[in-house]
Structure 1
C-alpha cells in the first residue's frame, strides 16, 4: 500500500511540473490556459499549425490562482531557433512580452478566469513560423508572471527580430524581480509539410531532442476545440 501511494504522489508531482518543457527554467507548476480563437492548448506539448497560432492568444487562469488586484506580464518564447549555418546549437527567440494583464469578469468553459490587457508591448506578438527546412518541431513556451511596478522594458528594446534573438528569460526575470512564473504552458509547431499535416489531423508528432532552452519534446496529442468565452 505504501508503495502504491508513493507512486500516486510521484505521478501527481510529475504532472504538476509538466507545464513547461523538461529542463527549461524558469519552470511553471500551474497551467496557463492558452486559447487561439476556438483552439485551446489543453495539454502541454500539443502540436498546432502555424495558421492556428498566427494571432495572439487569450489567456486564462484557475480562479484559485488569480487575484483581482494583481497585474501580470505574459511572455512567449521559441526555444528551438536554428543557429548560424554549420552550428547545431539552438537559440531562444522572444515571440511576445505583453504587460498589463488583469483578471476580467469573464470565464471560459470550465470556469477559469479570462485575463485581458489593452497593451501590445513592449514586445508585440510574432506568430510561430519555423522553417520548412528544419529537422524538428519547435517548442513555443508561454509564461505568466506577476508584473512588478519596477519592470523595465520598452518597445525600443525589442524593435526588430535580431533584438529578440538569444533572449535570456531567467536573467530578465531575476533583473526585474519577476519571481517564479504564476503559470505556464507550451505547444509545438512543425514547419515541415509532414508536421503541418499532422497538426491538422487527429494526432501530433514529437521531435528529436536538441540543445537549447529545455530537453523535453511534445506529447503527440491533438488540440481541443474550446467553446466561446462566457460572461459571468
Structure 2
C-alpha cells in the first residue's frame, strides 16, 4: 500500500483486511494488474466489521488521470458509499455509483485504490453521481472528503493497476455528454 503514499494518503492503510472480488472472478490483490474488461461491473467488497451496527465509508479513486506522469485530474472518483452498516455494502448510501477503469490509450498503468473508513457518526452529504455522469468525479480528494466528514485514516485498503484495453472505448460511450 506504500505505492499510494503520498499521492492519495499520508500513511498507508493496512492491507489484507479488504476483499474485493469482481463478477468475472478476479480478486484485487494489492498491486496486481487487471484489465478494464475484468473490472467493468461493480465488485463485491467484504471486511470484518467491528460490530453489526458500526458505520463505514468505502471510496475508490484513480490518482493517475490522465496519466501517472501528469495527474492533472487527480483523483478521479470511481465509487463512493457512506453509512454502510456493519459489512453490508448494500445498506449504505451511494454518493457516486461504481464506474470501472478507463485509462486513456497510451497512458500506461493507473492505480485504482479502494479505501475503507470507520465512521464515528453518520455522514450527511448531498453528492449524488450517477453511473453515466462525469461531473463531480474529477479532482476529487480523499484527504478533503475524509477531513470534511471526520473519518480519520482508513482502516483498510487495497488497489490494482490497469491500462487501456478495447473495453475503455465502449465504457466511455456510456457517459452522458
Q: Give the distance between the partners of 1:22 and 1:116, measured in 2 at CA.
A: 26
For the pair 1:93 / 2:76, whether they are aligned, the reply is yes
- The aligned residue for residue 191 of structure 1 is 164
Runs of 5+ unmatched residues, structure 1: 1-17, 105-114, 197-232
For the pair 1:79 / 2:69, whether they are aligned, the reply is no
- The aligned residue for residue 112 of structure 2 is 140
Report the alpha carbon displacement of residue 19 of structure 1 after superposing the two structures with TM. 6.7
94-103 or 161-170, larger mean C-alpha shift: 94-103
Runs of 5+ unmatched residues, structure 2: 169-177
Q: Pick closer, same or farther for the CA change 1:20–1:75 going to 2, 3 Å.
A: farther
Query: Aligned pairs, how many?
Result: 158
Q: Which has the higher helix share?
A: 1
Name the TM-score, length of structure 2 as normaliser.
Answer: 0.77
Name the TM-score, length of structure 1 as normaliser.
Answer: 0.60
Question: Where do residues 53-202 of structure 1 align in structure 2 (5 Å cutoff)?
Answer: 53-61=39-47, 63=48, 66-82=50-66, 89-90=70-71, 91-103=74-86, 115-119=88-92, 121-134=94-107, 136-156=108-128, 158=129, 160-191=133-164
SS of match in other structure, 2:147:
helix
- The aligned residue for residue 44 of structure 1 is 30
Q: Bigger radius of gyration, 1 or 2?
A: 1
CA RMSD of aligned residues (A): 2.5
Q: Pick closer, same or farther for the CA change 1:116–1:187 going to 2, 3 Å.
A: same
Contact in 1 for aligned 2:57/2:84 (Cα 8 Å): yes
Q: Pick closer, same or farther for the CA change 1:192–1:57 going to 2, 3 Å.
A: closer
Q: Pick closer, same or farther for the CA change 1:70–1:118 going to 2, 3 Å.
A: closer
- The aligned residue for residue 13 of structure 2 is 28
Q: Pick closer, same or farther for the CA change 1:47–1:74 going to 2, 3 Å.
A: same
Q: Structure 1 runs of 4+ off > 4 angstroms?
A: none
SS of match in other structure, 2:143:
helix
Q: Pick closer, same or farther for the CA change 1:125–1:30 going to 2, 3 Å.
A: same
SS of match in other structure, 1:130:
coil
Report the alpha carbon displacement of residue 92 of structure 1 after superposing the two structures with TM. 1.1
Q: Give the distance between the partners of 2:5 and 2:151, measured in 1 at CA.
A: 21
SS of match in other structure, 1:80:
coil
